[in-house]
Amino acid sequence: MASKKIFGIVLAGGEGKRLMPLTADRAKPAVPFGGNYRLIDFALSNLINSGLRQIVVLTQYKSHSLDRHVSQTWSIEGLLGAYVASVPAQQRLGKRWFSGSADAILQSLNLLRDEKPDIVVVVGADHVYRMDFAEMIDAHIASGAGVTVAAIRQPISLADQFGVIEVDPDDPTRIGRFLEKPTDATGLPDSPDEILASMGNYVFDADVLIDAVLRDGEKTDSNHDMGGDIVPDFVSRGDAAVYDLNRNEVPGATERDRYYWRDVGTIDSFYDAHQDLISALPIFNLYNTAWPIFSQQLNSPPAKFVRDGHGNLGTTIDSIVSLGSLLSGAHVERSVLGPWCTLDSGSKVVDSVVFERAHIGPGATVNRAILDKDVVIAEGATVGVDHEADRARGFTVTPSGITVVGKGVRVDQ
């Protein structure tokens, strides 16, 4: 990475309405993921592994859990001015909340003015991926552009789900057009069946970022959004470069997970991302020690698997079981269990995601479900077996058949 002063901004102020009820009591970036992690850990780990040492997390909605996680997990103060700091909406420009991601930066410009960085890396807080931002920063500096947008190749059939980048035909490193969820996207010159989708990660020259959000803040017809307003403004002036994730080489990556990136903004995508973790050769590999995903290190005993009181031995297949969990004669298959879960004799958890301190009683069944923290499934009760019964009890059931039980709920027969 070039010897310039780099500052990181993690945008973590979104409500996460599409992840309800998992976001009923916490910000989306604070939602648990993969057993022992929070969603924000992936963005912060990528920045730290890339060499950034001054990072702020801009928060807004239901931020207590997120603020606590950042303060307890990401304490790197004292290392030559290094820090990861949670910064709530400060209402410096009046009695108002952030009205968009660009407005969040506008209202936090004091952070940039204090640190005076040369380069600012702006990332979202709710994507699961690995990326070496040092390589992207070097590419940005070499491009001479005011902003560089990270992009990942996706099938052209999915173009209407993303912000799509069309490269300049005269210079494929520059963005010719930036289209929001187009239905008539054009394939890439070197791969007609693919498009470049914006990852929501940006590298800016600091002075041009400050100028851009100040100008955007004066507009009455703007949504004050980084992807919807700021980037298109740079594109219109021919000052936006694109960085294809295919150029990025993360240490320890495998061919299977090298270019993995998933937006976990819906219940179904959140569930699918967990299924990507559990195979013998995972689509996303949590066990890459060359580029670790950092999180809070719990003071917990190892997970324990024992026979039940009748001598019955349970089975655990293709699953992740976190620290502190105790499985007694239970069957777990293709599932992810968070810390301190307890599963009693004859219980079954299949194709499911279970958060911290959930209790599955004797003979209970959980199938294709997500259970939030402190959920109790009583003896013989079921979740995800009868969708009509699940809906009648007030649980969310997605069109694909994923049942979600909110935090602290008790499920009886």
Q: Using one digit for the tens of pLDDT, what is the confidence trace for 268-303? A: 999 999 999 998 889 999 999 999 999 987 789 999
What single-letter amino acid sits at 140? H
- Using alpha carbons only, give the angle 65, 69, 74 rounded to the nearest 5 degrees: 155
The pair of three-digit structure tokens given for residue 378, joined into one six-digit string:
């009583």
In this structure, the chain runs to a length of: 413
Burial of 155 (0-12, 13-18, 19+ CB in 10 A): exposed
Segment 146-179, tens digit of pLDDT = 999 999 999 999 999 888 999 888 888 899 999 8
What is the rounded average pLDDT for all residues in the chain? 91
In 237-311, where does DSSP find H-type helix?
A: 267-275
6-275 classified as CATH 3.30.230.10: no
| Helix-, strand-, coil-residue percentages of the chain, each rounded to 5 | 25, 30, 45
Q: How high is the pLDDT of residue 99?
A: 65
- Tell whether the model's pLDDT for residue 13 goes beyond 80: no
Segment 367-397, tens digit of pLDDT = 999 999 999 999 999 999 999 999 999 999 9
Greater model confidence, 316 or 74: 316
Segment 258-269, tens digit of pLDDT = 899 999 989 999
Q: How high is the pLDDT of residue 66?
A: 85
Is 180 marked as binding a ligand? yes
Task: Enumerate the domain spans of the chain.
Answer: 6-275, 304-411
Is 198 marked as binding a ligand? yes
- How many whole angstroms separate alpha carbon 295 and alpha carbon 339? 13
304-411 classified as CATH 2.160.10.10: yes
Phi–psi pair at 242, nearest 5 degrees: -120, 145
- Tell whether the model's pLDDT for residue 73 goes beyond 90: no
- How many whole angstroms separate alpha carbon 320 and alpha carbon 324? 13
Statement: the pTM of the whole predicted model exceeds 0.85: yes
Across 80-94, 113-127, 255-269, 395-409, least confident range? 80-94
